[in-house]
Structure 1
Amino acid sequence: MESNEIKIAVIGLGYVGLPLAIEFGKKYTTIGFDNNTQRIKELTTHFDHNREHETAAFEAARYLTFSYQQELLAGYNVYIITVPTPVDNFKKPNLKPLLKATQTVAEVLKKGDTVIYESTVYPGCTEEDCVPVLEQYSGLVFNKDFVCGYSPERINPGDKTRTLTSIQKITSGSTPEAAKQIDALYQSIVMAGTYLAPSIKVAEAAKVIENTQRDLNISFVNELALIFDKMGIDTTEVLQAAATKWNFMPFKPGLVGGNCISVDPHYLLHKSQSLGYHPQVILSGRSVNEKMGVFVASKLVKTMLQRGITIKNSDVLVMGITFKENCSDIRNTGVLDVIRELNEYGVKTYVYDTWADATEVQREYGINLLQEINNQYDGIILAVPHQDFLTLDLQVLKKEKHSVIFDIKAVLNKKDTDIRL
């Protein structure tokens, strides 16, 4: 298609879909679609509650509109699906949002249209799970009437440097011609260039192992932190010493959450196990990372006990509940495990976060965020080092001189903290 014939519909306007819609909206007729009517109303007024995009970004996307009305999608010919792919309570892939979005597109799909997926899935999901839904609800035939592609997202929430256009993009298509067209489409907005994968399955696999690899690397340093804690060695000091070697990888211990690193390995595990292979390394890494919240809570409690602090009904301030710093995303946050474990000890926890949406936190986790810190505490956990937290004097928040400050990510000076990973 010529550029003036391309009309793009981005389905799902979260951390992945919105930047995509904005960039495409600078060059092509684009609609951002989401079934969250409140989200659409906010975006129409150029307000992004995720705090990722300012008014200027919306204004630059002069060909972009927003809607929650499915019938308006019928006028478009390229559909890009960017909805979340979470796991359920049993850590199994939950494809319901993906398949629902696929049905929404299928019901307006026409001959000659292209459907591209960016949601993280296991290898084979696009062609084995999504394409049948597209065919069922459209009455069209795959690779005859319509084509598909897969271009995995690489959005890093909260990162203002490595943005969509500055990160090389993997692309793929269900036919050689479709692959070329999809690759050219992304090349037109991604300054860092693209990498055309030989198949959709290869592109899917590349995405899922990116975050699985990171999960394993973090699990290694988390296990080191558990070992060195028993030895009385400061893990941060060990890592700083080891980092003087040119090929040492500088991963740091901490809580692993979010909708990528803590979720994507389960998609690969699911597919692998369905084929009769039970991965050992991936499972082991997940097991270590999922225990870190309990370790953090118990380490704080033990230190408080050693200092003569009564645990039951003690006051502990937890600073940060988002899954990472300078980001509003609370999905699968590892901080929740810390809070729940502290509550099991009878501790009274108070959560403060300048980035998280208080209404969303209450709805998702039943936690009421502090509007401001106006008390002193027996224990203070710097769980998420938002930039504005780093300028606070945590010493004045101590109830007593022997109250405990736990710096999970070791971002403060060692002399200003009592424990750090």
Structure 2
Amino acid sequence: MIYQDLVSKKEKLAVIGLGYVGLPIALEFARKISVVGFDIRPDRVDLMKKGIDPSKELESEAFKGCDILLTCSTEDLRQAKFYVVAVPTPIDEHNLPDLTPVLAATRTVAKVLKKGDYVVYESTVYPGCTEEDCVPILEELSGLKYMVDFKVGFSPERINPGDKEHTLVKIKKVTSGCDAESAEEIAKTYEMIIQAGVHRASSIKVAEAAKIIENTQRDINIAFMNELSIIFNRMGINTYEVLEAAGTKWNFLKFFPGLVGGHCIGVDPYYLVYKAKQLGYHPQIISAGRFTNDSMGGYVAKQTVKKMIAADKNPKDARVLIMGFTFKENVSDIRNSKVIDIYKELHSFGVLNVDVIDAFADAHEVHEEYGITMATEPTGLYDAILVAVSHQQYVGLTEEWFKRYAAKGCVFVDVKGIFKSKVNSFTYWSL
């Protein structure tokens, strides 16, 4: 059985894609069995060989004591018997699923696939994608027959970037296989590393669907909070004060307004919408939630401009500081950051003098991806200071610190409400 062959190191496990998801999985397995870690980017592989996580999530200690071959060579993948695909599944400019990375990874695996091999996908996709889109490629390029010559499974990733508490081994893992035998072998393989245990889903489709609704549920709940924020703003009351009061009831769900970006919550619902439309159903609630959350960056910028005008500031002459650019706090990931929407909307109002700083983001990556040249630190006085991301370096800042960079009548925009009741010298606004 493949599980026993992996444990005895008779066979190897390969992880394709060594990003936020793939690298932690590869290293965790490499503490127990022999692993081949594959990534298409040589620069990333070179860093990992030196014990450096390009995503800045893992410390160098995580690489120690691991039986792992880090490589860019497809040939090295031939050594493996069990393949884990952990590549991104983004959306395109029309908010449609972009399966390019996962299908490319599938072709890579298909070229080295042998009889008796297992392929498990961790990349978030719509229900049916694994068997309808990926399996045919594996069959065609390998010349092998699905469920006869090779087995496939799906075990959705549950990595939460920046979260040092809910780490890979502490989060229950959902696993599935294409038949009873593969489902059990895959589950036992993951049980090697997952301390929290494994939930055996009844089918690949169920596992795919479970993952996609995890993030869709959060998206809808946050959208509700964002809509409440817009309503309460018109009423002149603070959303966070309302939520604090409502949260005293035992069964009130604690969600908060904010920018919803990144490669999970801001993306996964579109995969479900896409599949639903293929089946002739146009989802109303999911689509409405996506519209609301995708609009929040522009909304924050509009409110900032309104507050500046009310403070007798000419937007065209104003200097604005945006603090934070990553998609969430305490991570370096800038993919699908909604802070760019604030930046662009400010520009559309003629606010062209905008400095952007971030405690985690790589300045080169920001310029390459968004065409923005980040500042290394605040300079001079600003007519508006906008704390867009609640990085740990910002949370502890005092009102005196902000005063150093605040022009007279400065507008203070606190997207996440972290400085509520702490900043009183400025015109204050939060979601």
Query: Shorter-normalised TM-score: what interval?
Result: over 0.9
1:161 is aligned to: 165
Q: Summarize deviations over 1:380-409 as a string: whole Å, max 9, x none.
A: 110001001123344324442311111100
**Is 1:44 aligned to residue 49 of structure 2?**
yes
User: What SS class does the counterpart of residue 206 from structure 2 fall into?
Assistant: helix
**Is 1:14 aligned to residue 19 of structure 2?**
yes
Q: Summarize deviations over 1:215-271 as a string: whole Å, max 9, x none.
A: 000000000000001111110000000000000011010100000001000000000
Q: Where does 1:9-408 land on structure 2 (aligned, <5 Å)?
A: 9-61=14-66, 63-347=67-351, 348-393=353-398, 394-408=401-415
Distance 1:337 1:414 in 2: 27
Are residues 397 and 276 of structure 1, via their aligned partners in 2, closer, same or farther at CA, if it must alter by over 3 Å? farther
Structure 1 unaligned spans of 5+? none
Distance 2:12 2:30 in 1: 10
Distance 2:72 2:317 in 1: 47
User: What SS class does the counterpart of residue 315 from structure 2 fall into?
Assistant: coil
AA aligned opposite 2:207: A
User: What SS class does the counterpart of residue 60 from structure 1 fall into?
Assistant: coil
AA aligned opposite 2:39: D
Q: Summarize deviations over 1:21-75 as a string: whole Å, max 9, x none.
A: 01001011001100011000000001113211111110032x0120001111001
AA aligned opposite 2:414: D
User: What SS class does the counterpart of residue 316 from structure 2 fall into?
Assistant: coil
AA aligned opposite 1:175: D
Q: Tell me the CA shift for residue 310 of structure 1.
A: 1.0
Q: Summarize deviations over 1:358-393 as a string: whole Å, max 9, x none.
A: 111110000111112232211011000100112334
Q: TM-score, normalised by structure 2?
A: 0.96
2:418 is aligned to: 411
1:420 is aligned to: 430
AA aligned opposite 2:331: C
User: What SS class does the counterpart of residue 116 from structure 1 fall into?
Assistant: strand
Q: Which of 409-418 and 124-133 deviates more?
A: 409-418
User: What SS class does the counterpart of residue 79 from structure 1 fall into?
Assistant: strand
Are residues 158 and 415 of structure 1, via their aligned partners in 2, closer, same or farther at CA, if it must alter by over 3 Å? closer
AA aligned opposite 1:240: E
Contact residue 318 and residue 349 of structure 1 kept, 8 A: yes
Task: Kindly report the root-mean-square deviation, in angstroms, between the aligned alpha carbons of the 2 structures.
Answer: 1.0
Q: Where has structure 1 moved over 4 Å in runs of 4 or more? A: none
Contact residue 377 and residue 397 of structure 1 kept, 8 A: no
Identity of aligned residues (%): 51
AA aligned opposite 1:352: I
Contact residue 323 and residue 332 of structure 1 kept, 8 A: yes
Distance 1:398 1:305 in 2: 19
AA aligned opposite 1:376: L
Counting matched residue pairs gives 420
AA aligned opposite 1:401: K
Distance 2:90 2:265 in 1: 11
Distance 1:375 1:249 in 2: 42
Distance 1:398 1:375 in 2: 6
User: What SS class does the counterpart of residue 256 from structure 1 fall into?
Assistant: coil
Contact residue 102 and residue 133 of structure 1 kept, 8 A: yes
Distance 1:395 1:258 in 2: 28
Contact residue 398 and residue 404 of structure 1 kept, 8 A: no
Are residues 60 and 411 of structure 1, via their aligned partners in 2, closer, same or farther at CA, if it must alter by over 3 Å? farther
Q: Tell me the CA shift for residue 412 of structure 1.
A: 1.4
AA aligned opposite 1:39: R
Distance 1:395 1:365 in 2: 27
Distance 2:85 2:412 in 1: 44
Distance 1:65 1:396 in 2: 52
AA aligned opposite 1:52: E
Q: Tell me the CA shift for residue 415 of structure 1.
A: 4.2
Q: Tell me the CA shift for residue 313 of structure 1.
A: 3.2
Contact residue 355 and residue 378 of structure 2 kept, 8 A: no
Q: TM-score, normalised by structure 1?
A: 0.98
Q: Tell me the CA shift for residue 354 of structure 1.
A: 1.3
Contact residue 110 and residue 137 of structure 2 kept, 8 A: yes
Contact residue 385 and residue 406 of structure 2 kept, 8 A: no
Distance 1:416 1:60 in 2: 48
